[in-house]
Amino acid sequence: MLLPVLLASCESRRPAEPPTAARAALSDSATVPLTPAVRPDTTDVSRTSFHFREGHDTTLLIGGQLHRLLLRSETDSTQPLTTVSTGLVGEYFADDTSTFAQTGRVRGYAGSQVITLLDPSGRLVFRRQLRKQDFFAVAEKEIVTVSQPARPYFVGYHAPSQTLVFSIDIGIPASDVGQQCVVVLGLDGRVRHLVSSYDWNWGAADCEPRLLPNGTVLTCQALIRPDGRRISLLKPKSELVAALVLSDSTLLTVYQYGYYRARPDTSSAADAAGVSASFSDPEWVSDPRMRRAPNAFVLDRQGRVRQQFHYQGHYSIIGHVVPRRYVWQTHAYYLLDEARGLHVLDKHYPAGVTAVPFQQMQRFRKPQRPAEVRFVMTTETTSLAFYVDPAQPTRLRYERIERPD
- Whether residue 250 sits in one domain with residue 199: yes
Do the domain assignments include residue 26? Answer: no
Residue 301 has pLDDT above 60, yes or no: yes
- Whether residue 171 sits in one domain with residue 291: yes
Residue 279 has pLDDT above 80, yes or no: no
**Contact between 398 and 389 (Cβ < 8 Å):** no
Do the domain assignments include residue 12? Answer: no
- Whether residue 317 sits in one domain with residue 341: no
What angle (nearest 5°) sits at the alpha carbon of residue 298, between those of residues 295 and 301?
A: 130
Q: Which of 306, 322, 338 is the last residue of a domain?
A: 322
At residue 378, the pLDDT reads 93
pLDDT in tens, 129-144: 999 999 999 999 999 9
Residue 189 has pLDDT above 50, yes or no: yes
Residue 188 has pLDDT above 70, yes or no: yes
Q: Could you list the residue range(s) of the whole structural domain that residue 317 is in?
A: 58-265+273-322
Residue 1 has pLDDT above 80, yes or no: no
Residue 20 has pLDDT above 90, yes or no: no
- Whether residue 335 sits in one domain with residue 299: no
pLDDT band per the 50, 70, 90 thresholds, residue 177: confident
Q: What percent of the chain has pLDDT over 70?
A: 86
Q: Which of 8-17, 118-127, 157-166, 333-342 has the lowest mean pLDDT?
A: 8-17
Average the pLDDT over 146-162 and give the result. Answer: 97
- Whether residue 79 sits in one domain with residue 144: yes
Q: Which of 281, 296, 322 is the last residue of a domain?
A: 322
At residue 357, the pLDDT reads 98
What CATH number is associated with residue 281? Answer: 2.40.128.510
Q: How far is residue 194's CA from residue 205's CA, in Å, rounded to a whole number?
A: 19
Do the domain assignments include residue 46? Answer: no
At residue 8, the pLDDT reads 36
pLDDT in tens, 246-268: 999 999 999 999 998 887 765 55
- Whether residue 135 sits in one domain with residue 67: yes
Do the domain assignments include residue 402? Answer: yes
Q: Which of 288, 304, 322 is the last residue of a domain?
A: 322
- Whether residue 204 sits in one domain with residue 149: yes
Dmax of the chain from CA atoms? 102
At residue 265, the pLDDT reads 62
Residues 6+ apart with CB under 8 A from 12: none
- Tell me which residue of 328, 336, 340, 306 sits closest to 393, measured CA to CA: 328
pLDDT band per the 50, 70, 90 thresholds, residue 275: low
Q: Are strands 124-131 and 105-118 parallel, antiparallel or unpaired?
A: antiparallel
Q: Which of 14-28, 65-79, 279-293 has the lowest mean pLDDT?
A: 14-28
- Whether residue 107 sits in one domain with residue 195: yes
- Whether residue 340 sits in one domain with residue 318: no
- Whether residue 302 sits in one domain with residue 372: no
- Whether residue 86 sits in one domain with residue 149: yes
Do the domain assignments include residue 155? Answer: yes
Average the pLDDT over 27-50 and give the result. Answer: 65
pLDDT band per the 50, 70, 90 thresholds, residue 274: low
**Contact between 207 and 246 (Cβ < 8 Å):** no
What angle (nearest 5°) sits at the alpha carbon of residue 101, between those of residues 98 and 106?
A: 80
Which has more confidence, 42 or 240?
Answer: 240
Residue 21 has pLDDT above 80, yes or no: no
Q: Are strands 373-378 and 362-363 parallel, antiparallel or unpaired?
A: unpaired
Do the domain assignments include residue 1? Answer: no
pLDDT in tens, 323-379: 999 999 999 999 999 999 999 999 998 778 999 999 999 999 999 999 999 999 999
Do the domain assignments include residue 40? Answer: no
DSSP 156-177: EEETTTTEEEEEEEEE-TTSS-
pTM of the model: 0.86
Do the domain assignments include residue 14? Answer: no
Q: Which of 33-42, 158-167, 312-321, 385-394 has the lowest mean pLDDT?
A: 33-42
Structurally, how many domains does the chain consist of?
2
Q: Are strands 238-245 and 250-261 parallel, antiparallel or unpaired?
A: antiparallel
- Whether residue 170 sits in one domain with residue 87: yes
At residue 196, the pLDDT reads 95
pLDDT in tens, 56-99: 999 999 999 999 999 999 999 999 999 999 989 999 999 999 99
Residue 24 has pLDDT above 50, yes or no: no
Strand ranges in 328-382 using DSSP code E only, listed in sequence order: 332-337, 341-346, 349-357, 362-363, 373-378
Which has more confidence, 30 or 353?
Answer: 353
